[in-house]
Amino acid sequence: MIAGSTTHLVLIPSYNPGAKVYETVRAARQYWTPVWVVVDGSTDGSAEGLLAMAAQDAGLRVIALPRNQGKGAAVLHGLEQAAAAGFSHVLTMDSDGQHPPEHIPAFMAESSRQPDAMILGVPAFDASAPALRVQGRRLSNWWANLETLWAGIGDSLFGFRVYPVEALRRVMRDQLWMRRFDFDAEAVVRLCWRGVRPVNLPAPVRYYSAEEGGVSHFRYLRDNVLLTWMHTRLFAGFVLRLPVLLARRALGRF
């Protein structure tokens, strides 16, 4: 049975994902309605294929952006549309099949129980996970926890999570960053600074090889430079906010 909601929707940003996106969207639709896909200027023909799927499925909406702007920008566009439609929460998941659609109902249920929190997936890696990626995210997680005084971020980079729409819209409108690969980590840190509590739930992650239809846009040097710059500015913001964060911690509000 497909769970449906007028408050919570699944939001899938997508950029040149190849054929794996159709499998991802069909799987998400098995567990939830509505599902929205924001196509971020894809040039691989997936926008046309997804629009054809949506024409046959009232629970699926496809928003095709004219040019690639980055994951965070695509999510923000979806947030604006979701807010206009009256939704209060979005569950974000990647379009490449790495995230577990069968966990959507559990994450949505936890969000309904704790609507002021963000529900963060904590990845359970299998043998398909590249060792370099697994090791590298530990450093980003350490910085994210330092920058929030160990508020409880289980994983800063895993994009399978539920956000309160208004809280995230306010964060993104207040600054110009977190529009590309830096979105996931910066979102959780800045939401923590605003008092949005993280709740962690485990979720499996699967990395598909090229032979299995997997497509990766991760570029080790480019994206690690982006993450380094992100944590540099976040640490500067953390230092400026430190007295407030310490006061919150002392009062048990953080």
Q: What is the mean pLDDT for each group of 10 consecutive residues in the chain (254 residues)?
A: 85 93 96 97 94 97 95 96 98 94 97 98 80 74 95 95 98 89 92 96 81 55 76 94 88 69
Residue boundaries of the structural domains of the chain = 3-250
Residues contacting 71, CB < 8 A, separation 6+? 13, 15, 40, 159, 179, 180, 181, 183, 184
Q: How far apart are CA 47 and CA 60, in angstroms?
A: 13
Q: At 132, list the tokens.
A: 């370099």
Residue 40: what pLDDT?
Answer: 95
CATH number at 3-250: 3.90.550.10
CA atoms within 13 A on the CB side of 88: 11
pTM of the model: 0.91
CA distances from 251 to 203, 247, 248 (A): 32, 6, 5
Residue 226: what pLDDT?
Answer: 77
Q: At 65, list the tokens.
A: 């952006």
Residue 250: what pLDDT?
Answer: 80
Residue 106: what pLDDT?
Answer: 97
- Cβ burial of 118 (10 Å; 0-12, 13-18, 19+) is buried
Query: How many CB atoms lie under 10 A from the CB of residue 115?
Result: 13
User: Residue 115 carries which DSSP code?
Assistant: T
